[in-house]
């Protein structure tokens, strides 16, 4: 049985919408959605080792990396204890980010899903949301997928979140 679904995609690619839809279509019990934004929101406002540049760039330091490692271990512990988890993530480090998660989730049944969205569409969503730094979506649209291996890739450029969620749910064991 699938324990964890990892959704990886750039900012404003549609991961959160897909996660909400997955929660409504997956019938194998309640699925918790936890994401990198949850971790960032939990950090102190004065820092936490992550800096968002005015151009949409993101720089992370060792303090954030330690918090991120503990976060991933905690998410894995929840899944190992029986919670079904959807991880809403942005692999800024590409395959290195995936390797960190794979290490934390070792022993669990994980479905790796790439959430793609073309840069122009993601940038338009970013502007419409109004709570993101301009440029983040465009800079991450392809970067987060480079060198990452998936079980399934969905594209929200033209597909609605529910259609993507149904495609993903069909792959959940």
Q: Which residues are catalytic?
A: 37
13 contact partners, CB below 8 Å, separation of at least 6: 115, 116, 117, 122, 137, 140, 141, 156
Q: Residue 152 belongs to what H/E stretch?
A: strand 152-155
Coil, helix or strand at residue 19: helix
Give the bridge partners for 4, in sequence order: 85, 110
Radius of gyration of the chain (CA): 15
């Amino acid at each position: 049985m699938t324990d964890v679904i990892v959704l990886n995609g750039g900012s404003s690619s549609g991961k959160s919408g897909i996660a909400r839809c997955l929660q409504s279509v997956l019938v194998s019990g309640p699925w918790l959605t936890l994401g990198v934004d949850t971790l960032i929101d939990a950090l102190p406002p004065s820092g936490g080792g992550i800096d968002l540049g005015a151009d949409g760039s993101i720089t992370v330091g060792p303090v954030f990396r330690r918090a991120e490692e503990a976060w991933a271990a905690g998410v894995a512990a929840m899944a190992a204890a029986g919670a079904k988890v959807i991880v809403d993530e942005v692999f800024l480090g590409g395959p290195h980010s995936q390797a960190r998660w794979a290490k934390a989730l070792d022993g669990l049944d994980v479905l790796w899903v790439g959430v793609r969205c073309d840069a122009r569409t993601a940038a338009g969503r970013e502007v419409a949301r109004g709570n993101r730094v301009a440029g983040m979506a465009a800079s991450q649209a392809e970067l987060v997928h480079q060198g990452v291996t998936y079980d399934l890739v969905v594209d929200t450029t033209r597909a609605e979140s529910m259609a993507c969620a149904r495609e993903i749910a069909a792959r959940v064991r």
